[in-house]
Amino acid sequence: MAGTVIVGVDENGLGPRLGPLVVTAITVRASGEGARLAQRAPGRRFARVGDSKALVSYKDSTLGEAWARVLLARLGRAAGTPAEIVHGLSLDERPHLRALCPGPHEAQCWGDGGEGHGADPALVRRVEKDLARLEALGIVPVDVRSVILCTRRLNDATAAGTSRFDVDLHAMERLVLAARETAGEELCATCGKVGGYNRYAPAFGPLAGRLRVTLEEGRKRSEYRFPGLGNVAFLRDADASHLVVAMASLVGKWLRDVLMARVIRYHRAEDAALPEASGYHDPVTARFVDGSALNRKKRELPDACFERRATSRGAP
């Protein structure tokens, strides 16, 4: 098929105290004017695409939900319930996602009781029209995938000496490789900058050992050429300046919020006085952590499955 394969990758939840790190990639095939627009800031033409930090919040990520539902429907994947969307997005299968769960507490991350759609039909229709406009301009979705890294996996990585930044980077690499396999040809991938890194080669995981040429390394942008894979760039503030990265950021923000809400529901089922916390480093989350401590101890929930340990490694 004609056109350029363009991938946008972004993370959500790198710095919080609770909940998963989510890394999301959207792959499109772009031709004509679309090949240029897909790698530019959305602008006024697409007001419902942009930096997730500006368009959605912890209490309202329905725009990200609408994009997830519309993209999955366009790709022919199940999107009937939030749980179906979660697994429709996940790069990893259900057994892998649950492999480290302490049996009695699997529902902390995977209990989907009481979940429902937040995006109303009118918003979904508007996003459907946005996608149709993108396609008319030559930007056609090929895939959308996310890597979900639970608190336990982040803590295990920290214990093994791998920083959260490296875990984030390696998830991005996995998604780029998966996009290459799906597209069947070389691609042009743009990822949000990771941890202030300028030089990525020393920290590569899945891409380590592959033949590459360094095209650029700097504070704003670092880019590498991988024969057979394509170009992989890391761009500062990519979610505000690259349309496909912005879309990935919106979808990933909703996905993290859904998974974080499960953690909150699980513990509030035991103590309704616990606050509705975001999981970030804020006073409400601190009250949630302190207020749930006794019940967590009684229920023998491992700390490693609840709160992230500090990571100290800096950028290479």
Q: Which domains does the chain have, with CATH numbers?
A: 4-262 (3.30.420.10)
Angle at 266 between CA 85 and CA 157, to 5 degrees: 75
> Span 147-174, mean pLDDT?
97
Which is higher by pLDDT, 49 or 99? 99
pLDDT at 247: 94
Question: In a 10 Å sphere around its CB, with 0-12 CB exposed, 13-18 middle and 19+ buried, how is residue 184 labelled?
Answer: exposed
CA-to-CA separations, 232 to 129, 141, 177, 189, 264, in angstroms, rounded: 30, 19, 10, 5, 37
pLDDT at 51: 47
**Nearest CA-CA partner of 197 in 231, 172, 221:** 221
Structure confidence by residue, pLDDT tens digits, 226-237? 999 999 999 999
> Span 152-162, mean pLDDT?
97
Q: Between helices 243-268 and 82-89, what is the axis angle to 10°?
A: 130
**Nearest CA-CA partner of 230 in 182, 278, 265:** 182
Amino acid at 24: T
Which helix (H) or strand (E) segment is 139 a member of? strand 139-149
Structure confidence by residue, pLDDT tens digits, 199-232? 999 999 999 999 999 999 999 999 999 999 999 9
pLDDT at 41: 86
Calculate the average pLDDT of the chain.
93
pLDDT at 52: 46
Task: Tell me the three state secondary structure of residue 316.
Answer: coil
pLDDT at 305: 98
Structure confidence by residue, pLDDT tens digits, 27-68? 999 999 999 999 998 776 666 665 445 545 445 579 999 999
pLDDT at 232: 98
Residues 4/30, Cβ–Cβ less than 8 Å: yes
CA-to-CA separations, 34 to 202, 207, 231, in angstroms, rounded: 34, 28, 18
Give DSSP secondary structure letters for 50-117: S-HHHH-BTTB-HHHHHHHHHHHHHTT---SSHHHHHHHHBSS-HHHHHTT--GGGTHHHH--TT---
Q: Count the helix, strand and coil residues of the chain and give each as a percent rounded to the nearest 5.
A: 45, 20, 35
Model confidence, pTM: 0.94
Structure confidence by residue, pLDDT tens digits, 111-148? 999 899 999 999 999 999 999 999 999 999 999 999 99
For 20, half-sphere exposure in the C-beta direction (CA atoms, 13 angstrom radius) is 29
Is residue 312 scored above 80 in pLDDT? Answer: no
